[in-house]
């Protein structure tokens, strides 16, 4: 009988250990170093009674947050470098990795979570409860509970190297810059600081007019410039190490410099000038698209590449991984590598807006790894997205990466125990953009689930058994999970065919009159009796032309375009012959079916893993997998029956028949829009 401690998932990957004694020697003193010492004493799994020296020493090979590890100690240039070294050392001890002569430097200087948290406590695209930062009632009261949550949050972030938090939604309320909200931001910043986390705010570009009483928010207006300078000065008087602003401008109804006939560069530079004296930065989002029937996937590139080189050096353009919007699979955004004279940072979505919310088990590390390792060819072979953004190729004053957080007040933080792995993976990839998802999953499972109680240790073979019966199959499930979601949601390059209501479940039919076309699925799948897919080739929107050769030609030709992106770039007849020898229609059917089968396999994997998981987490995940499975069937039935109206071809007979009727699925979906 194994001994499994009950767990509600609150401790994340930082579960309490039976620590062995360690003697920590550290000459310097600071709040950060005290945390480092305490973590070692509470988590030491190395030789009992060992002595470990923490030393701050200048070393050119070690970057600001980096560190060296050896059996005897940790060396870094800064206190926070020491703390990161401590977390890495403990992680290595717990995951049985060697500790000898490790030199570790982060890929990105700024590793930031974006919280889409509203000031009333709700979270846009949040599936794990209310905001941990803001709330509606007693909005400005800072309680002991608040502080202890923020502290746990800070610790979890620091343990994976995250060093920045944008506290509020990019759809920003101008109220964030009022004295009361700034005071609360200061209270949060004070708790995050010892863990090396800087605080940033999203700002509304119209703030000077809305809250400042000015007649305009034109970035070239002298009163507006003065207003922002005064506001920035006030912020730094409250939060001296404030990080800077995140801005969503001229996108989805948000105000911006184009409202005044100015460019993105005019807007970003005005804010950057105000922040510059304090070493603050502006993260200016490239997620822009006008309501037009032109190809939305082309718009960010079309607006930003012509103004490359016009931005101040403390502006970073924040670019979503793909050209549309965090879909299960997209090609990488063509802006990566194309903006050669401006700092560019990737934005990933940790919260699962389009990937089944906190109901589906989808390990997103595979998606991000695919993006980071995509070759842009902008500066020859090997110009991957990772290298184009981490300073390896272009001299950027700042290097940065952002992840849209999946965190809320739920006890387990993320709504789904396995969604915690996505928070973990974002941090690990931000620290090292060359890490493999397999390694990240391996670490996370060991840290989150391995139960090294003395009772279990008595059974000599426990670790081997756990490895074979839990670690390996659960890891495989995680590694397969993203492709499974692509298969049952949007295979072969399909995108944006989800239900408009909440972006959960299928909705390929949704196109009410008067809704902007680029918000409707038929705009993206273009299904008709002749075929399916968006023609982005040279004969279509020519989005392929935004990619560097050889990609432009490769994507342009359906025989060389990767299957996974086929319908992203091509409109093809239903009987188009695929590389597999099947028709396109059959291939679509088999992909949807495969996705469903994969989730059924996940259910079996998890059920078999029961003896190795505490009851609470076992049941919680089991229930979620059931919902995922039935939702996968819904996706398959909805998409196959809907597209069959155009293909007029039979669903291959070795595939399970649909169990939902199309008219009922549509009626159910549309009911929500009345
Ligand atoms: C914060 C998508 C989401 C919006 C989000 C937007 C963005 O459109 O649906 O909720 O707004 O992206 O990234 O700005």
Q: Read off the pLDDT of residues 202-252 as tens digits, 9 standing for 90 and up.
A: 999 999 999 999 999 999 999 999 999 999 999 999 999 999 999 999 999
Q: What is the pLDDT of residue 3?
A: 66
Nearest to 421 by CA among 397, 449, 395, 401: 449
pLDDT of residue 308: 98
Residue 124 Cβ contacting ligand 1 at under 6 Å: yes
Mean pLDDT on 73-87: 98
How far apart CA 392 and CA 502 sit, in angstroms, is 39
Nearest CA to ligand 1 atom 2: 325
What is the spatial distance between Cα 566 and Cα 575, in angstroms, rounded to a whole number? Answer: 14
Nearest Cα residue to 91 out of 75, 104, 79, 78: 104
Tens-digit pLDDT profile for residues 340-372:
999 999 999 999 999 999 999 999 999 999 999
Within 13 Å, how many C-alpha atoms sit on residue 533's CB side? 26
- Mean pLDDT is lowest, of 298-302, 452-456, 497-501, for 452-456
Mean of pLDDT values over 615-635: 98
pLDDT in tens, 430-486: 999 999 999 999 999 999 999 865 556 556 689 999 999 999 999 999 999 999 999
Tell me: pLDDT of 670 over 90.
no
> Where does residue 107 rank: exposed (0-12), middle (13-18), buried (19+ CB within 10 A)?
buried
Residue 353 catalytic? Answer: yes
Give the per-residue pLDDT at 83. 98
> Distance between CA 454 and CA 274 in Å, rounded?
58
Report helix, strand or coil for 148: helix
ω into 550 cis (within 30 of 0): yes
Q: Which two tokens stand for residue 648?
A: 């007029």
Residue 210 phi, psi (nearest 5): -70, -45
Q: How confident is the model at residue 530 (pLDDT cuts 50, 70, 90)?
A: very high
Could you tell me which residues are beta bridge partners of residue 319?
A: 346
Q: What is the pLDDT of residue 674?
A: 60
Q: What is the DSSP letter of 68?
A: E
**Distance, CA of 525 to CA of 523 (rounded, Å):** 6
Q: How far is the CA of 90 from the centre of ligand 1 (A)?
A: 37
Question: For residue 200, what are the contacts with CB-CB under 8 A and spacing of at least 6?
Answer: 112, 164, 165, 166, 167, 242, 243, 244, 245, 246, 283
Residue 287 beta carbon below 6 angstroms from any ligand 1 atom: yes
Q: Give the pLDDT score at 290.
A: 76
Q: Tell me, what's the pLDDT at 289?
A: 86
For the chain, give the number of residues.
Answer: 674
pTM of structure: 0.98
- Ligand 1 atom nearest the C-alpha of 248 is 14
Q: Among 39, 266, 303, 353, which one carries the catalytic annotation? A: 353
Pocket test for ligand 1, best of 205, 247, 252 (most atoms within 8 A of CB): 252
Question: Looking at ligand 1, which atom is closest to the CA of residue 349?
Answer: 13
**Chain-centroid distance, C-alpha 361:** 15
Nearest partner of 374 among 343, 403, 346, judged by Cα: 346
Burial class (CB in 10 A: 0-12, 13-18, 19+), 186: middle
Among residues 325, 442, 480, 587, the one annotated as catalytic is 325
* CB-based contact 74:39 (threshold 8 Å): no
Give 605 Cα–ligand 1 centroid separation in angstroms. 34
Instruction: Choose one of 172, 325, 502 to mutate for the ligand 1 pocket test, by most ligand atoms within 8 angstroms of C-beta.
Output: 325
Regarding the beta carbon of 248 and ligand 1, being less than 6 Å apart is answered yes
Q: With contact defined as beta carbons under 8 Å apart, do 359 and 631 qualify? A: yes
Residue 459, pLDDT score: 62
What is the pLDDT, as a whole number, of residue 4?
78
Whether 92 and 101 have beta carbons less than 8 Å apart is answered as: no
DSSP structural state of residue 612: G
- Report which DSSP code applies to 17: -
Say what angle helices 179-192 and 144-159 make with each other, to 10 degrees: 50
Over the chain, what is the mean pLDDT?
A: 96
Q: Provide mean pLDDT across the span 105-130.
A: 98
59 is catalytic: no
C-alpha to C-alpha distance for 235 and 218, rounded to whole angstroms: 21
Higher pLDDT, residue 674 or 619: 619
Give the strands of the sheet with 67-69, arranged side by side.
22-26, 50-56, 73-76, 67-69, 102-104
């Amino acid at each position: 009988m194994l001994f499994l401690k009950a767990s509600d998932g609150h401790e994340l990957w930082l579960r309490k250990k039976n620590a062995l004694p360690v003697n920590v020697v550290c000459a310097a003193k600071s709040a950060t170093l005290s945390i480092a010492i305490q973590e070692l004493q509470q988590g030491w799994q190395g030789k009992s009674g060992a002595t470990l020296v923490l030393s701050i020493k200048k070393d050119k090979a070690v970057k600001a947050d980096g560190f060296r590890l050896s059996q005897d100690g940790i060396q870094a240039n800064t206190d926070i470098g020491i703390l990161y070294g401590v977390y890495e050392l403990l992680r290595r001890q717990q995951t049985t990795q060697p500790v000898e002569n490790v030199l570790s430097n982060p890929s990105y200087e700024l590793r930031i979570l974006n919280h889409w948290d509203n000031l009333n406590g709700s979270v846009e695209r949040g599936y794990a409860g209310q905001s941990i930062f803001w709330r509606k009632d007693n909005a400005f009261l800072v309680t002991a509970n608040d502080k202890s949550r923020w502290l746990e949050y800070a610790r979890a972030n620091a343990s994976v190297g995250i060093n920045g938090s944008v506290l509020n939604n990019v759809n920003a309320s101008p109220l964030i810059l009022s004295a009361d909200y700034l005071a609360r931001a200061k209270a949060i910043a004070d708790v995050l600081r010892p863990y090396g986390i800087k605080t940033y705010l999203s700002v509304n570009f119209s703030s000077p007019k809305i809250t400042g009483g000015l007649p305009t928010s034109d970035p070239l207006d002298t009163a507006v410039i003065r207003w922002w300078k005064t506001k920035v000065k006030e912020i730094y008087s409250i939060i001296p190490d404030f990080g800077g602003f995140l801005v969503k401008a001229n996108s989805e109804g948000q105000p911006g410099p184009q409202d005044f006939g100015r460019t993105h560069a005019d807007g970003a530079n005005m804010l950057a000038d105000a922040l510059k004296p304090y070493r603050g930065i502006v993260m200016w989002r490239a997620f822009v698209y006008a309501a037009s029937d032109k190809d939305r996937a082309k718009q960010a590139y079309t607006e930003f590449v012509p103004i490359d080189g016009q931005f101040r050096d403390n502006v970073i353009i924040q670019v979503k991984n793909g050209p549309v919007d965090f879909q299960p699979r997209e090609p990488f955004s063509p802006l990566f590598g194309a903006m050669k004279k401006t700092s560019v940072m990737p934005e990933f979505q940790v919260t699962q807006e389009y990937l089944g919310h906190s109901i589906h088990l989808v390990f997103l590390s595979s998606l991000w790894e695919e993006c980071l390792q995509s070759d842009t060819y902008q500066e020859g072979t090997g110009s991957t997205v990772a290298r184009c953004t981490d300073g390896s190729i272009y001299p950027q004053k700042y290097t940065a990466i952002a992840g849209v957080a999946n965190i809320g007040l739920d006890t387990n933080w993320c709504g789904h125990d396995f969604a915690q792995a996505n928070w973990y993976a974002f941090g690990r990839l931000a620290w090292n953009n060359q890490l493999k998802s397999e390694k990240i999953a391996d670490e996370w499972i060991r840290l989150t689930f391995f139960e090294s109680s003395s009772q279990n240790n008595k059974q000599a073979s426990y670790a081997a058994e756990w490895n074979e019966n839990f670690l390996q199959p659960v890891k495989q499930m995680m590694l397969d999970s993203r492709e499974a979601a692509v298969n049952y949601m949007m295979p072969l390059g399909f995108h944006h065919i989800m239900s408009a209501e909440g972006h959960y479940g299928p909705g390929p039919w949704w196109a009410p009159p008067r809704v902007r076309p680029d918000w409707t699925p038929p705009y993206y799948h273009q299904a008709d009796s002749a075929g399916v897919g968006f023609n982005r080739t040279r004969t279509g929107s020519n989005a392929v032309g935004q990619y560097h050769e050889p990609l432009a030609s490769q994507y342009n030709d359906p025989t060389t375009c990767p299957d996974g992106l086929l319908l992203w770039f091509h409109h093809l007849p239903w009987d188009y012959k695929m590389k597999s020898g099947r028709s396109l229609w059959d291939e679509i059917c088999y992909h949807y079916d495969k996705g469903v089968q994969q989730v059924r396999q996940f259910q079996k994997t998890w059920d078999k893993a029961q003896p190795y998981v505490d009851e609470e987490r076992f049941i919680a995940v089991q229930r979620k997998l059931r919902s995922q499975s039935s939702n996968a069937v819904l996706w398959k039935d909805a998409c196959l029956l809907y597209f069959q109206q155009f293909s007029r071809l039979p669903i291959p007979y070795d595939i399970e028949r649909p169990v939902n009727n199309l008219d009922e699925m549509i009626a159910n979906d549309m009911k929500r829009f009345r």
